[in-house]
Structure 1
Amino acid sequence: MVGQDLVGQRIKATRRQRGFSQAQLAHPELSDSYVSLIESGKRTPTPAVLELLAEKLDCSLTYLINGVTAEQMEEIEHALSYARLALNNGEVVEARTRYAELLGDSGLAGLSQQRQDAEYGLALATEACGDLDGAIALLNGLRRNSVAGMAPERHVSVAVALSRCYRERGDLTQAVQVAEDILGGAVRPVWSEGLIELGTALLAAYAERGDLLRAHQFGIELLAAAELVNTPRAMVLALWAEAIVAVETGRFDNAVAMADRALAIYSEYGQPRGVAKLRLDYAQIQLIARPSEAALCRDMMTRVETELRESSAVAADKIRCVHHLTRAELMLDHPEQAREHIQSVLTMVEDMSKELQTEAHLLAGEAMAKLDRSEEASRELTAVADLLEQAPPTRQAAHWWLSAAQVLERIDEPARSVDAYQRALACVGL
């Protein structure tokens, strides 16, 4: 049943509840035949006529349009705000529950925008909970069912999230395709903040699949586009994306310079949690680009750990911070401190993404190997291998297999080490 049919049905039902005939409802401003056409769905009333009918029927305009009372609409908006706040505060399980409850309420049936908001929020919360397959299904459903009534900004936001989820799952072909469907035409759309963000998702997918020349070229274009958009957020997004590509291509000084600029801009306008997350990523770049400054990076990440805790960051961000702290302590040859850090999150990662689980067990294995606790190191590397057996053959998987091989070599397990080296090569097509 189309929207005008539903409006007509609600007018007819309310009129009968009030005991009015069509002529009584129409008089004196309208004709009874016009009211009849509205009720049968053959005419679409103007906003002024709808307002007049709502007044005559002593009901809210919201009810005639959407099928919910003003009080119900207020409750729905309040529930959406609560779910959104929970997601922003890192309470991702609570947010997922709240959004699911909203979508299970029949009151959203006639509220296309609110339902779309709830579906998008549920997809983001599902992704944040580590359920990438669930998030992808929700985002594809949102695109399929709402494309006609979806605002351009939301369409781009959904594409950003979908490309990111595909990349995190290892499906790089789909990650690229989703973004190129919008950005890859013969005529580029007019750049906006949203399209810059989509561009960073595309650039990340290029880099992840090893298409570094294309990533570098597109990064230059993206940075130029961000300068045209000329907003702080656009500049931070483009600078950070180019910093990541610079790391991947070994241009470490450029990477640090780009990251410095991005952090300086974002520190002036960003929310505390966002600034803390960016500092965390900045420290990671510093660890790769300037390993001799591992102590400074460790101290920075210790401060970031406090900032994330105080800003109600999501669990995944806190775990990533511990991973980087562990890595810094290993680089400083402090295996006992590294072991203490990683042990604090090993039980937490089981409900997180496979990526976080793999990294945690690998770091634990490295720490145990350095402490000459070979049996424990071997168990952690078995967990790593089990996880990588399920992972797609990406460059990241190759890096993990290579690191695992080196640890296995250290604890004198040559057969498993050779197998891990071979799997690393297979992941990059060798």
Structure 2
Amino acid sequence: MTGQDLVGQRIKTVRRQRGLSQAQLAHPELSDSYVSLIESGKRTPTPAVLELLADKLDCSLTYLVNGVTAEQMQEIELNLSYARLAMENGEVVEGRTRYAELLADGGLAGLPQLRQDAEYGLALATEACGDLDGAITLLSTLRQNESATMTPERHIAIAVSLSRCYREQGNLVQAVNVVEQILGGAVRPAWTDDLMKLGGQLLAAYVERGDLLRARQFSSELLAAAELLGTPQALTLAHWGAAIVAVESGYGEEGVPHVERAIAIQSEYEDPRRLARLRHDYAQVMLIVRPMEASTWRDVLLKVETEFSESSANPMGKLRCAMNLARTELLLAHPERAAERIQVVCDMLDGMPEALHAEARLVFGQALAELGRREQALGELRGVAESLERLPVTRHTAHSWLTAAQVLERVDEPARSVDAYQRALACVGL
């Protein structure tokens, strides 16, 4: 049944409830035959006619158009606001629940734009809860079913989220395909801030799959596009992407000016949560580039930890910050502190992606090995190996196998260490 048919049915239902004939409803502005055609779905009333009929029927225009009363519309908009607020405050489970309840009660059936907002919000909340499979299903369904009514901005936003989820899941083929469907044509669309976000996801996928030559070429294109756009968001994304490409290519110091430029640009604008996330990523990069300055990066991460707490960052952001603090303590030869921090992380991993489980248990195994608790370290490393065997082959899994090999060597397990080294090499095609 079309929206036109539904409008006609609502007019007919309310007219009968009011005890009016078609002629009485029509007189004197309209003809009764015109009202009959509207009610049968054979004519689409203009906005002016709809407003007139709503006034004569003593009902809200919202009800005739969408099938909800003004009071119901107010409640729906209020519940959507609560769901958005929960997400902004980092209460991702609450946000997910509220979006799911909104979609389940059927009140959004006649409100396609609000329903689309709720479906997209539910997908983002599902991702933030660590359920990548669920988020991918929701985003793919939304993309397929709502593409005809979707704004270009929403279409790009869904592609950004979908590519990110695929990359975090380890499905790098799909992470690239989603973006190249938009950016990979013979003629590149004119760059905008939204398309720069999409480009950032493509760059991250290139890096993760080890296609560093293409990543460097595309990073140069993004930098040139950002300079032309001149917007803070575009410049931050492009410089951050250039920094990551430099670090992953083995030219860490080359990436430092890009990191510092991204931080400087973002610091000029009042978005504390975004700046806190960028500071966290900055410290993570600098731990790789300049590990000898670990005490400095620990101070940065401690500040970020406080900022995350005050700005209600999502759980995955907090977990990653805690893991990097544990790594910092290991670099500073404080395995006891590292073990304490990572134990807290391990207790919070329920429902999180398996890659995050493997990452946390690997850090815990390192800390236990440094403390001389060999059997416990081996137990954690066995769990890491089981997770890595189930995960897709990426640069990230290669690095995890390499770290596991080094820890196994540390606890005097040469055979298993060699096996882990061989798996790391296999992950990069060697």
Pick the TM interval, shorter chain.
over 0.9
Equivalent AA in structure 1 for residue 391 of structure 2: A
1:270 is displaced (CA, Å) by 4.0
Cross-structure match for 1:239: 239
Q: 5 Å matches for 1:134-145?
A: 134-145=134-145
Aligned to 1:97: 97
Give the match for residue 51 of structure 2. Answer: 51
**SS state at 1:351 partner:** coil
The structural deviation recorded for 1:162 is 0.3
Aligned partner letter, 1:216? R
SS in 2 for 1:108: coil
Shift of 1:254: 2.6
For residues 337 and 20 of structure 1, what CA distance do their matches in structure 2 show?
A: 78
Aligned partner letter, 2:403: S
The count of corresponding residues between Structure 1 and Structure 2 is: 430
Q: Which runs of 5+ in 1 are unaligned?
A: none
Report the TM-score, using the length of structure 1 for normalisation. Answer: 0.98
Match of 1:15 in 2: 15
In structure 2, the residue corresponding to 1:107 is in which secondary structure?
A: coil
Asked whether the equivalents of residues 129 and 315 of structure 2 are also in contact (C-alpha less than 8 Å), the reply is no
SS at match of 1:68: coil
CA contact (8 A) 2:326 2:363 kept: yes
Equivalent position of 1:188 in the other structure: 188
Quick one: distance in 2 between partners of 1:350 and 1:386? 17
In the aligned structure 2, how far is the partner of 1:145 from the partner of 1:351? 28
Q: 2 CA distance for matches of 1:207 and 1:176?
A: 11
State the match for 2:413 in structure 1: 413
Match of 2:300 in 1: 300
Matching of residue 106 in structure 1 with residue 106 in structure 2: yes
Name stretches of at least 5 consecutive residues in structure 2 with no aligned partner.
none
Partner of 2:271: 271
Aligned partner of 1:4: which letter?
A: Q
What's the counterpart of residue 367 of structure 1? 367
User: More deviation in 347-356 or 48-57?
Assistant: 347-356
After superposition, the C-alpha distances for 1:176-235 in whole angstroms (9 at most, x for unaligned) are 000000001111112111110000000100110011111111111112212222221121
Residues in 1 aligned to 2:130 and 2:290: alpha-carbon distance in whole angstroms: 31
Residues 332-341 or 202-211, more deviating: 332-341
CA distance in structure 1 between the aligned counterparts of 2:173 and 2:345, rounded to whole angstroms: 32
Look up the equivalent residue of 1:323 and give its one-letter code: M
1:300 shift after superposition: 1.0
Indicate conservation of the 8 Å contact 2:226/2:234, yes or no.
yes
C-alpha contact (below 8 Å) 2:131/2:351 kept by paired residues = no
Greater alpha carbon shift after TM alignment, 221-230 vs 309-318? 221-230
Please name the residue that 2:69 is paired with.
Answer: 69
Q: Partner of 2:345: helix, strand, or coil?
A: coil
* Alpha-carbon offset, residue 19 of structure 1: 0.8
Deviation at 1:396, TM superposition (A): 0.7
CA distance in 2, matches of 1:158, 1:327: 33
Write out the 4+ residue segments of structure 1 that deviate beyond 4 Å after TM superposition: none
Read off the aligned partner of 1:285 and give its amino acid letter.
V
The answer for the alignment partner of 1:202 in structure 2 is: 202
2:308 and 2:393 map into 1 onto residues whose CA distance is 32
What fraction of aligned residue pairs are identical, expressed as a percent? 69
Cα distance in structure 2, aligned partners of 1:313 and 1:179 = 27
Cα distance between partner residues in 1 of 2:25 and 2:227: 59
Please give the alpha-carbon distance, in whole angstroms, between the structure 1 residues aligned to 2:348 and 2:232.
Answer: 35
Q: Quickly say closer, same or farther: Cα 1:352–1:144, change in 2 above 3 A.
A: same
- What SS does structure 2 have at the residue aligned with 1:396? helix
Q: What is the aligned partner in structure 2 of residue 338 from structure 1?
A: 338
Aligned match of 2:258 = 258
Q: Distance in 1 between matches of 2:162 and 2:65?
A: 32
**Letter paired with 1:367:** A
Matched-pair contact (CA < 8 Å) for 2:99–2:118: yes
**Residues 80 and 231 of structure 1, relative CA distance in 2, 3 Å threshold:** same
1:387 maps to what in 2? 387
Counterpart Cα distance in 1 of 2:125 and 2:336: 35
DSSP-derived class of the 2:321 partner: helix
**Structure-1 residue corresponding to 2:32:** 32
Q: Retained in 1: the 8 A contact 2:326–2:338?
A: yes
Q: Distance in 2 between matches of 1:223 and 1:178?
A: 22
- What is the distance in 2 between the residues matched to 1:35 and 1:110? 22
RMSD: 1.0
**How far apart in 1 are the matches of 2:29 and 2:350?**
66
**Kept in 2: contact 1:62–1:68 (CA 8 A):** yes
Answer yes or no: is 1:157 the counterpart of 2:157. Answer: yes
Deviation at 1:387, TM superposition (A): 1.1
Aligned residues of 1:255 and 1:285 also touching (Cα < 8 A): no
